[in-house]
Every structure is written in structure tokens, then in C-alpha cells.
A and B are shown apart, each in its own frame.
Chain A
């Protein structure tokens, strides 16, 4: 008896959503571009959207199209945190949390909402709203917890803090939890398993580390934040050479033949002002298009590549937007994948 198992087939406008997944007492995140059908999937599990297939929770069938079972939303033991939280604007925080079940005092306390109990949702900050939404969803002690883009309604500067807080709260909730998001970083922080959904299908499922170490295809790689360079591959002695459309050559220790893509993570790329004399490395020279500080690091866009370097080295190199730089990365850090389709 799995805590949550579903196998769903939902016709959408342009494609059909076809996903099968088992979620234990853990947090699983589904990542994909917007329009991949992620929200629809959550609504189907909650019973707010017609679907074909099966949903079973600890041996109870919520949906079994073959046997004509389809419980209405109010009979499914599910907590859903909506994308914009969907708090009842006319009710106080306390009444919102107690909507599903009376006696939410302990819950208000646990979520740090006790002092806000009599406030209306419009008086709250984004992070507070999210806590109310989560407390409200958990109040009836649902068998399954679903979260739809829980961090997308927040500003960039509160997001990191709320993400850490949410991770903690989800761990404490300790029940099958499914999060959908378009942001791999959010998914990797919140979940132990991450599934990549594209065009209604599950492309790859694994731990965040597994997805980064061996992405199944270029799309998964770019979703996890990797640089993706397209070209034509051919064997050259011990290595593979990938010729980019610009004529530059990239060497990799991975085998490949024909149309292929090179995958390089930003933290594998170093920057310099002039090409270092190091033939074991790949070099791509280019114009610095942007320099974005991220914590104590700088994310630099050089030609077709994104590099993540320390603020120190960025200052030492005197990088400037519009100037030139050389991006270098090792052949051993360069994964090659066949071009999809």
C-alpha cells in the first residue's frame, strides 16, 4: 500500500498529460516549463479536474476510471496550497486556518501565526500568506499534501528565506507531498526526488544530485541550470571533439557521434582575461553580456556560456559588461548527449 500512487491521463488542449508516480512519506517535486500541465495534474489529484486513470492513497481509491470511482474533492483527504494561496479574503487568519477543521490554535502557534490570528489576508506579507495557506491545508490532517508553485508569488529577496522555512515545515508535515514548480533550485531545495515534466510526460525522475550528474537529455540539463552547446561531434584520439556552429572546438571525455550537445555547469567554468596556456581545457572567448551578483558569487554571461565565479575573482579580473573574457572548462567536466530528436 503506497501512501500515494497515481497513474493519470488527462487530455489537454495541445497534448495529453500522462504521468504515473508513486510518492512515499517524502517530498517529491515535479519541475517543468509553464504550460507543461503541472497545475492540472495537482487539480486532478485534488478532484477539481476531470481525469482518467487511477489515484490511490494508502489503499483507498480516489479515482478508478475502470471501476467508475471518482470521489468529489470534498471527500478526498487532500491539502492543496494554491499558487496565489487562495486565502479567503473576508475571513481572518484564524477563520481561514479553521475553515477545514475547528481548533487550529496549536497550528497557528506552530506556524508562527498566533499574533496574526485576527488579521485579514490582505494585511499579510507574502511569506505570512504562504504559512497561512499551508496551515489551512494541513489543519484537517490530510493524507496527501499538494503545493502549486509555492514560491512563485514571492519577491526575489524574501524567496530564499521562505524557501528554507518551507523546507522545514514540509519536513515536519511528514506525509506524501507533491510540489510543482518551474524552478529547479526550488525543487532541489524542497524535495528529495525531482521529476522533470515536459509536454505532459515525466522525462526523468531522480534525486537532485542524480539529475545534475546525469541529465537524461539536453532539456533536463538546461532545466537544472547547465550550459547547453549544440554542435557536431567526432572522435579525435582519446577524446571527442564537438564543433560549434561558430567553428570553435570543444573537447570532451564522453563518446558521441553526429549531432550532439555539450553540457557544462556554470560552476565548472572559470574566467580569465586572456586564454590560459592549458591545452587540457576548452576555451571560448566572448563578450561579457551580463554580470549578476548571487550571494557571494557572480553569475557572468560570456558568449554562449554562463559562468559562476566568486565575487573576489570577478573583481580581480576587472570584468565589465561589454568587455571581453575567456571562459575555460575541463574536458572531463564536459558531458556529451545526443541531440534530442
Chain B
């Protein structure tokens, strides 16, 4: 009986693996490699790459710059309503991207909550590259914050206390002790948030539109090219696979002393450790 079950379990594993791997491989098999590379040279693919890299870089930098100290502040403090705050941070994660797009539109759009004021100041961001950046940042932030908070929670509080007794002011405690010790987890958080941001589709489409060379990012280009030129769509898809593989490889090379905090922090609901 045990033997039969072992065979069944191995067969199930094989099936699951094939189900995941075969479609990815198929991206590369449908069209000869030379045509794929050629398709990447089309203006649609090139424009999309530029838009994606530019918007993602700006959005990601902003998320890291604001998110890291924010995560430190939340991760190292115990206060009333903390659990509620963490849930608020996680809420956008469970929203469909299209809902996020609508939400951004009714906030920053011309007729939105803040849009009226901004419009009066001559700022109109809906359907511009700024909108793409906001959409990407909006989906990256909860992912990054959640994992970064868990990383800072994982830092031994006595080490921060030790730094304080050695006359370190708050910024030095953060920069010299907390940040390096959380670096592994923060790196993983950053990489996965970046991947999520690059793949952002729904929120960008609703809030920024899909204008080639302006707001059409790589995922939007896949969708647009799907009906126009399947080769280009496939080529962009292949681009994503290569990018994803590089990213996962980079995650494996994260510094040793914080290796314990890595991918799992994204799945486990974070709980205070001290």
C-alpha cells in the first residue's frame, strides 16, 4: 500500500511540475529563437521596455526610500491598533488589480478625491507616466512593507539596545545595526516587489491607459500585441521569463546572516518576535 502511494505521490509531483514548466517552455518553442530576438526589436516591444524600466525604476526607488524607514518604525514598535494597521497594509494585496486601478482613478483622476485640487494647480496625472508610476508603487508598497516589517521584527532587539548604550543616536542604530541585519529580508522583499511591479497590469490599464511609448508597459504590450503580432507578444513573454529566472537566482545569493528571513516572510503572516 505504501509503495502504491509513493508511486502516486511521485506521479502527482511530476504532473504538477510539468503543468508549471511546459507552458513556460512553450513560450520559447512556438517561434524560432532568431524570430523572437527580431520581434524584440519592434518599436512596440522597445517602447514598452523603455516605459517599463523607467516607471519601475522610479516607483521602486520611491517604495524603498519611503517603505524602509516606515517598516522600521512599524516593525520595532508596539502600539495600540498595530494589528489593525498591519491589516490595512495588507488589504491592497487581496484586491484585484482592476479595483486598485479604479481606486487610484477616483483618488487622483480629474474628478477624483484629490484630482480636483491637483487639476486646479495644473497637475493632471491620469493617463500619464506619473499614473503608471503611482499604479506600480501602489501594488509594490504593501508587498514590500509587509516583508520589510517582518525583517525588522526579526532583528534581535538587544542588538539595538546595545547600540544605544554605545551612544548611537537613532539614525545610527538604524543605519549601522538594524539595516544591515535586516538586509537579507529587505533584499528579498525588494526583489519580489520589483517583479510584482514590472508585471503590473490591471491597475495601470485602468488608471494610466495603454498608450504606446507613454503608458504602455511590457505587460500591457503583451496584451496589445496579442492580437496584432503574436511573435512580439511571445518575445516579451520570454523576456519576462529570463528576468524572473535572474531574480530568483539573485535571491539565492542573499547575504548569509539573514538567510533565515527570505521568501517565507512573504507567505507567513508576520508576528512580533520580541
Contact = CB atoms under 8 A, between A and B. Distances in A.
Given A48-B161, A73-B161, A74-B164, A86 B156 contact: yes
Interface in B143-201: 156, 158-159, 161-169, 176-177, 180-181
8 contacts: A46-B165, A47-B164, A48-B161, A73-B161, A74-B164, A86-B161, A89-B159, A90-B181
A99 B158 contact: no
Nearest to B168: A74
B180 A140 contact: no
A80 interface: yes
A86 B158 contact: yes
Interface in A33-75: 43, 46-48, 72-75
A222 B257 CA distance: 43
B165 A99 contact: no
Interface residues of B, number: 17
Given A84-B158, A90-B180, A140 B257 contact: no
B158 A74 contact: no
A149 to B, nearest CB: 13
Nearest to B172: A74
A82 B168 contact: no
Q: Interface centre among A48, A84, A87, by most B CB within 10 Å?
A: A48
B181 A80 contact: no
A73 B161 CA distance: 8
User: Which 10 pairs of residues, A with B, have the shortest CB-CB distance?
Assistant: A100-B166, A73-B164, A86-B162, A86-B158, A80-B165, A90-B180, A99-B166, A48-B161, A74-B167, A74-B164
Interface in A196-239: none
B180 A82 contact: no
Contacts of B257: 89-90
B234 to A, nearest CB: 44
B160 to A, nearest CB: 9
A306 B176 CA distance: 51
Q: Interface centre among A76, A82, A88, by most B CB within 10 Å?
A: A88
Contact of B159 (A76, A79, A88, A137): A88
Given A88-B163, A89-B159, 19 more contacts: A43-B161, A46-B165, A48-B161, A48-B164, A74-B164, A74-B165, A76-B165, A80-B162, A82-B161, A86-B158, A86-B162, A90-B181, A90-B257, A99-B176, A100-B166, A100-B168, A101-B167, A137-B165, A137-B166
Given A86-B156, A90-B257, A99 B163 contact: yes
Contacts of A90: 180-181, 257
A251 interface: no
A78 B165 CA distance: 6
